[in-house]
Amino acid sequence: MNVESNVVPATMPETRPMYWSVRRELWENRSIYIAPLVVAAVVLFGFLISTIGMPGRRRALLMLAPEQQRATIGMPYHLAATMLILTAFIVGVFYCLDALHGERRDRSILFWKSLPVSDRIAVLSKSSIPLVFLPLLVFALTLTTHLIMLLSSTVKLLGNEAGVATVWRLPFFQLWLALLYALVAIALWHTPIYAWMLLVSAWVRRATFLWAVFPFLAVAAFEKGAFNTSYVGSFLNYRLLGWFKLAFVPHQHGSVPIEPLAAITPGKLLSAPDLWIGLVFAALFLAAAVRLRRNREPI
């Protein structure tokens, strides 16, 4: 009896190549998590320096109206979250621009193609970095940063019951839930941007940033010069920042929502046609990137 003919080859779970592909991306691109860590450290360092004069500022803070107190107390916490979100976006853009171009440039694509990992899994694993990993990292870093800031403020104001009470006046749990919701909204809204960057990374031979950005800027400049209109510029601005007006209730300048969760509007976001149109284009871009990775040769 032929024993070899009865041996059934082991099947690899489909999630395993994806898991190891993501780990490979994190191992090869350490700036993905180092840059946000550095920004979080800088924000914390600046906040710790600002605590030197905190007791005096708290006395002046108690003279303000409750809404102004809330806005002043929450400003450094909102700034920390904003800085980390902005850093994650920049890191995600430059990572996507180099993700497929870099492996063609250093010819490592020849090695990775020899492994039992499809081009689809390779591209999806790379897209998961800005869409899944970075938002989760930003949330974890923001939560940790906020806790350290809260603890340092409390220690600095020990003995001042009124000052300590003002520190804990912010609804931190609701703020963190609203932050998590905002990160999901940003990831969904920016999916076509990251997908376009991956497509350019798989397509061009050099100057990926110029090829990804310059055509849109050139068209916007031509429109402004020829017709004195700015529809393209408005579209680009909307594609970058339009998520906020759809995901949250816009407030008047200077006003702060008392309940952060009362300001979220997930139904408005998920029912927006622009969101789904963007996701359709993102799927087309990713499909094109998979095809290009399969056919493109090393540079």
- Residue spans per domain, the chain: 14-295
pLDDT at 254: 43
pLDDT at 75: 82
Helices (H), the chain: 15-28, 31-50, 54-61, 66-105, 109-112, 119-128, 134-156, 161-167, 172-203, 208-227, 231-241, 243-247, 266-270, 273-295
Compute how many other C-beta atoms are within 10 angstroms of the C-beta atom of residue 137.
20
Instruction: Determine whether 63 is exposed, middle or buried from the number of CB atoms within 10 Å of its CB (0-12, 13-18, 19+).
Output: exposed
Taking the C-alpha atoms of residue 48 and residue 54, their distance in angstroms, rounded to an integer, is 10
pLDDT at 163: 53
Task: Give CA separation, 64 vs 58, 59, 73, 160, 220, in Å.
Answer: 10, 10, 11, 17, 45
pTM for this entry: 0.86
Cα–chain-centroid distance for residue 81? 11
Kindly state the DSSP code that residue 13 receives in the 8-state scheme: P
pLDDT at 191: 96
Q: What is the pLDDT along the chain (299 residues), one digit of tens a residue?
A: 444 445 444 555 667 888 888 888 898 889 999 999 999 999 999 888 877 766 556 656 556 555 666 667 778 888 999 999 999 999 999 999 998 888 888 777 666 666 677 888 889 999 999 999 999 999 999 999 999 988 887 776 665 555 555 666 678 888 899 999 999 999 999 999 999 999 999 998 888 999 999 999 999 999 989 888 899 999 999 999 999 999 988 665 444 455 778 888 999 999 999 999 999 999 999 999 999 888 777 66
Taking the C-alpha atoms of residue 131 and residue 134, their distance in angstroms, rounded to an integer, is 7
Residue 186 amino acid letter: I
Task: Give CA separation, 235 vs 108, 126, 189, 241, 272, in Å.
Answer: 37, 26, 13, 10, 15
- 288, 289, 245, 284: which is closest to 263 by C-alpha? 245
> Looking at the DSSP assignment, which residues form a beta bridge with residue 113?
none
Helix 15-28 with 31-50: angle, nearest 10 deg: 60
